[in-house]
Chain A
Amino acid sequence: MGKRHSNRSQVSTYCYQCVAGPDLLKVEIEDGVATQVMPNISAAEVHPAGGKVCVKAFGLIQKTYNPNRILTPMKRSNPRKGRDQDPGFVPISWDEALDTISGKLNAVRQAGLNDDSGFPRVAASFGGGGTPTAYMGTFPAFLAAWGPVDMSFGSGQGVKCYHSEHLYGELWHRAFTVSPDTPLAELIISFGANVEASGGVCGVSRHADARARGIKRIQVEPHLSVTGACSAEWVPIRPKTDPAFMFALVNVLLHETDRSRLDIAFLKARTSSPYLIAPNGFYLRHSQSGKPLVWDLKSDRAVVFDSADIDPALEGEFKASGREEGADDVIWPHRDVLCSPAFTALVDHVRDYTPDWAAEICDVSAETIRSVARQFVDHAHVGETIEIDGKTLPYRPVAISLGKTVNNGWGGYECCWARTLLACLIGGLEVPGGTLGTTVRLNRPADNRWSSVTTGPDGFMDYPMNPTKKGEWQSRSPSRHAHRTLVPLAANSPWSQALGPTHLAWMMQKEGFDHLPEPTQPDVWFVYRTNPAISFWDTKAVSDVMAKFPFTVCFAYTSDETNHMADILLPECTDLEGLQLIRIGGSKYVEQFWEHQGFALRDPAAEAQGEARDFTWISTELAKRTGLLGEYNAAINRGAAGVRLSGEGYDFSLDPDKQHDVEAIWDASCRAASAELTDGAETQGLDYFREHGFRVRKFSKEQWYLYPALEEKELRFEMPYQERLLRVGRELAARLHEHGIEWWDRQLDEYEPMPKWHNLQKLWEDALAEGFGADMSEYPFWLLTARSMQYAWGGNVGLQMIKEVAANVAGHGGVVMNPAAARKLGLAEGDNVRVRSPIGETEGAVVLREGIRPDTLLMLGQFDHWATPFARDTKTPSMNALTPMMLELTDATGSGADLVRVAVERIGGAP
């Protein structure tokens, strides 16, 4: 043990640095100094991972006392912005900083909240998949009080997230992210999902427990990731060919497997498989009710899908009458038209996608693909049930998970569709052991998946698509990336702006797009816990754009590449310094499945360093100085800071007209939280939470599964046929073309009722060749990235301890390369190389690993820092500067993938 001091105490707090949290921890304090992070063992019975935190949380002590922190408000003295410019930041008082900001904001308010293009004059960018909210105190209440704010300037969204999964997952099974039911699964086929690096404490512990009881996980990915290492089998697939592999799995299930092995009952009752497809590709509907028809084998006639006592056919051709509804309310009446159920269409659709066909594309043997498919069926336990919290549910212990670059960008639709379909074929969607959603962000309410299951059209769940019908479609979006205009699936929730094509906001600033509003700059841009100048595609282009923004306010921890362009830097209390209450529990991404729900307190473990101020104090001051105190307090009262302050039998609302101090605000929140959890019986405040750290009540495990909610409402999963998307796509095409927009045509092709295979490798190669005039033969490697648990989301590249311990995990800090490929280029371990794509280059040391395909290179994490102290000296390569932002590489959901072709050349020997 180190030298320890007698004056020791512990403080409870949480770590929500990554989306896989929050997790609970304690901080030891000695003589007033936070000295060590430790698990919160008093939460062991409550937290799904026993009250433990991962390695990132242990960086928080250094994060607090980092000598490179910005500890006073600063203003820019050099009006010129750019990487080559010294910002000349000079310290100022909080009064001056807040007056300067509120002066700008008040001017904005006077000019109108939206500009001439209809865009909010105030923009904000927050990182980490919503996690900054857990550290920004009441700032959401300030933003709510303010009015429209543009959050479209992305910082990795769409390319660093599970973008297609977010959108299609929410559409199909309220699954913003998708998880195996790991505790019950017997087999998981993981296409590049790196859960051991990105699943957080809960993900890691669930999978470790599963391995201990003998689960088999097959990892399909081009390199042997940490998760691949922990898997029973590694299948080194060619990059971005996963759709072919997955289509071949579907083919084996439908063409090489006895139908009795599939869950026919599930397909008939809980999917659209029996719905008849009319000649134009839309459902054949009942002439009067408009409901989709199925062919009833009992009565041998077409009946509406929700008729009682029927046995709908899945296969065959039937003559039926009804009407077909196409896009824009076009109706085709049909009489005795020949049509087939969607399932038959599916069988035909995948007929040619055989394992032998996929083998060549994926560079994986057909036998391996067949074997994976057979194991999937063998482990499905079709027909079996299990009891969960007293309720009998289907038991299907097989699941498929998708990783980044598989489930975003082109091909994301195919993979998400195939994954969800495979689950449906064996009845394993949203049932114990199977493939589950974790949380909702686009549907509402966001804190309960079951409640979000509302009845929509055609027996499916409703979905808040952005309108595409004439007269309803919006040619102007309240965001600079046109999410409401271009992406119906992005919906219109508070999260939607983050799920639009966020790179378009940057691209539009650079080049504009025909027939969209003039891409104006935001008058004021707030930035917190994000560094888009590093963490996005084509980071040079992004940096160039932000350098032109007129007024940027960064909540700044240390200098970094984004706040290098700021006008004002504000030092806020960091993780261990600020006070806040957040919700915990329920089911959350990535694999946080709790049996409790409630609240946890972030109790300051260290005094604020320097002039750092609590975010709630900053928010309140801004509200006061912009004349929004009443609206701000009202927003807090409504729950904008995490908990509604009044309910049945209790009211701890703040006086709207007064300025409340930080502790008073959170004391009211704690009291309301206590009341909410005890149905008003108890109302303890801040002192209680300070003593206990958290407060929870039971959350039924049954709610981990959506199936019971659908069953109760007699709803179906919208699988396999995407009639709704087909219609939406056609309508969107019509609207865009009416508006003169032709540049989104490629994306419109994605609106297929069942996705066809596309040669994605060629798509990438063609885009690079045409976009940059590059000869692709000069770029022989595919460059990929992978999640680093130690660094991901933490904004901790400037922490020495993180770098030190991360170095124990191979690949950090270098370019991972297959030894045989390296030998051909005369490269050895540690050689310094330049990795070059058609748009940029980066440098790093060769890390030789057998666990990577010879045609693939890997760069872990996101680096290339040039301003962040400590990180700028580590000379760590990053693919972000090499990946182009291109419309051609943007899919219909607005996402891209971390993938580019590169060349490697030696620039020096190992040091």
Chain B
Amino acid sequence: MAISALQAALIAAWVAIVESRIIGYTLSGFLRFTAVGTGLVVGLIMGNVPQAMIIAATIQLVYMGVIAPGGTTPSETVVATAVAVPVALASGMAPEQSIAVAVPVGLLASYLVSFRFFINSLITHWVDRLAEELNDRGITFASIILPTIITISLFFPSVFVAVYYGASLIDSFLKAIPASILHALTVVGGSLPALGIALTLAVIGRRDLMVFYFLAYFVSLILKPLNVNALVYAILGGIAAYLYVALYYRSAFEENNANSENVSSSEVPQYEKESLPQNELKVTEKDLKMTWFRWWLTVEVPHSFERLQALSFQWAIMPVLRKLYGKNPEELKEAYKRHLVFFNTQGTWGGAPILGITLSLEEQRARAIAKGEEAPDPNIINATKVGLMGPLSGIGDSVEWSTIMYLLIAIALPWAKSGSAMGALFPLILFPVITYAYGYYFLRMGYRLGRESVSVLLGGEKIKTLITGLSTLGLFMMGILTSNYVSVSTPLKWTISGKVFELQAILDKILPGMLPLLTVLLVYWYFTKKGLKVLKVLGWMVVIFFVLGWIGVL
């Protein structure tokens, strides 16, 4: 099977659009960090969804736990998948061998992403001038449309070339290399899921809950012959998580009830906005909806090393600012400029409440100015944004990207592994929908309660319980994935006085699936002792498992 120019162009266009991030924060993030969504699209383009899903699932396992704190990932999963899947389909490679294409491509692509941040930095000063001129259309072009075009023109040609010429290159390469090397590549591909799983374990980072990982691992070993459906595992994990949270945290709840009651029922309502007569200096429900949509859609589009998300923040609230300060060009100019300074946070958990708080503060200020009263100092607005963006992004990166996203992926992976499109559709639809919905809820809360909303968001026992429950389920699903999809086994055997001793059979007698579990735990242990050096571990694992496979130990 060959790849036509049209197919290569369609795949390249897909990657370019995902990389431009113009399809929304949690949708483009999902597609960038994970493999299954792109696997499905490539499968549709290549006319072989089942095999594409199987290959994408294999790649996915290596890249579990990949997120982008600070904007760049150690490896661009979307590019790795978009190149490796068609190449593997066209050359008939085994799914494990496709890892050999995915890993180097993903590493190279992360340089392209850094380059994009650099280019975006050049735009920022132009946006400053446009803000000075109050040129809204110009700002939309410079902050949103131009970065989109730039990224598309960076990624389209490079991915097109890699996909179109990659297949024949890899094909002739495969024919030329000896079987022992092919075997070694398969061994590497089989072991690398241990990296993805260990990374997810480390990022969820709840050593107190690791028992659920082991529980799931052995439950799944027992149930393996029954060929249990993916959802059954998720439900079992859900029950385990519920039981744990109900038994352990319920008691903590009751002890703290007195405190949390205070926060939630007596303090908070004081911050409720008194219902003011509708006038033009009022931020309406419609304004909140529109602001959230503009932000969610473009958070990462003009991301640059210099200002990070400042340009999208300003663009998101630009219409509301115009409404509030429209009659006062000097104030409007100042407002545009104060929201163009460095801003960086996690888009939903940080961006949403901060946007709400900002709108509420700007509204207060605009009203005071209109009435000729003393207006709140604009420095307070900036200090609030800057103070909150850090801690909220920490929680957002841990909960949303590291836990919720990979939990959905883990639940869907067995479907993907069996070649079903459900493996992609399930997380691809659920993740953006869930995050969009609660993000809007957070934004409204920020607007209504001001900065106290953050205490409610972070301090509530409900949130803590939910996070613990999700972490428990996440670790449980990692146990299931370890026992099903990490393959490390040895073909070694000895003949001693006529009797054949197979090492793997002996190991299985001691503890079935010992080697995969050990591999994951070793990597996990390294991460917790030496820090999350993902690339270093990736490099060493490739070398070690390649050599072990090549000399026939594995």
Whether A and B are associated in the same complex: the answer reads no
* Interface residues of A, Cβ cutoff 8 Å to B: none
* Interface residues of B, Cβ cutoff 8 Å to A: none
